[in-house]
Amino acid sequence: MGILVLMLIIMLLKPDVEQVGIDMLAGKASITMGSIDDQSVPIDSFNAAKRFCIQMYQGQGSEALWADCAFQSLKGQYIFRKIGNAVGFTITEESERTALWEEAKRVSKNSLQGAGYSEEDLKKPEEIYRQFLQQAPLRFRIDYKVSQALFQNFLPTEIRRTDGELNVLSEASGARVDLDAVLYTEEDLVKASERNLEPTDAQLKELYDKESLDPNTLKGKDGKPVPFEERKTVLRSKFLLEARKNSLESLKAKLVALQNEPDGLQKIATLLGRQTVSLKNKSLSDLKKISAGKDVFSLSSDKKFLQDLSLPGLTQKKNIGPYREGEKYAIVSFSGVKLGTPDPTFLRTRDSGSLLTAILMEIPQSLEESIKVERASVRSSVSEE
Q: Tell me, what's the pLDDT at 26?
A: 43
Strands 328-338 and 176-185, bridge-based pairing: antiparallel
Q: Sorting pLDDT into bands at 50, 70 and 90, what band is 377?
A: very low
Q: Tell me, what's the pLDDT at 172?
A: 63
Using one digit for the tens of pLDDT, what is the confidence trace for 150-175?
A: 777 665 555 566 666 666 566 666 77
Q: What is the mean pLDDT of residues 179-200?
A: 85
Q: Sorting pLDDT into bands at 50, 70 and 90, what band is 198?
A: confident
Q: Is the pLDDT of residue 331 over 80?
A: yes
Please give the single-letter amino acid code of residue 37. D
Q: Is the pLDDT of residue 50 over 50?
A: yes
Higher pLDDT, 211 or 128: 128
Q: Tell me, what's the pLDDT at 317?
A: 63
Q: Is the pLDDT of residue 134 over 60?
A: yes
Q: What is the mean pLDDT of residues 373-377?
A: 71
Q: Tell me, what's the pLDDT at 101?
A: 92
Using one digit for the tens of pLDDT, what is the confidence trace for 29-43?
A: 457 888 888 888 888
Q: What is the mean pLDDT of residues 214-237?
A: 77
Query: What is the percent of the chain where pLDDT is above 90?
Result: 7
Q: Is the pLDDT of residue 21 over 70?
A: no
Q: What is the mean pLDDT of residues 114-142?
A: 78
Q: Sorting pLDDT into bands at 50, 70 and 90, what band is 97?
A: very high
Q: Is the pLDDT of residue 177 over 50?
A: yes
Q: Tell me, what's the pLDDT at 383?
A: 31
Task: Compute the mean pLDDT over every residue in the chain, rounded to the nearest whole number.
Answer: 75
Q: Tell me, what's the pLDDT at 312?
A: 67
Q: Tell me, what's the pLDDT at 276?
A: 87
Q: How many CA atoms lie within 13 A of 247 on its CB side?
A: 16
Using one digit for the tens of pLDDT, what is the confidence trace for 256-300?
A: 889 888 888 999 999 998 888 888 888 777 878 887 777 788 887
Q: Tell me, what's the pLDDT at 142?
A: 92
Q: What is the mean pLDDT of residues 183-208?
A: 84
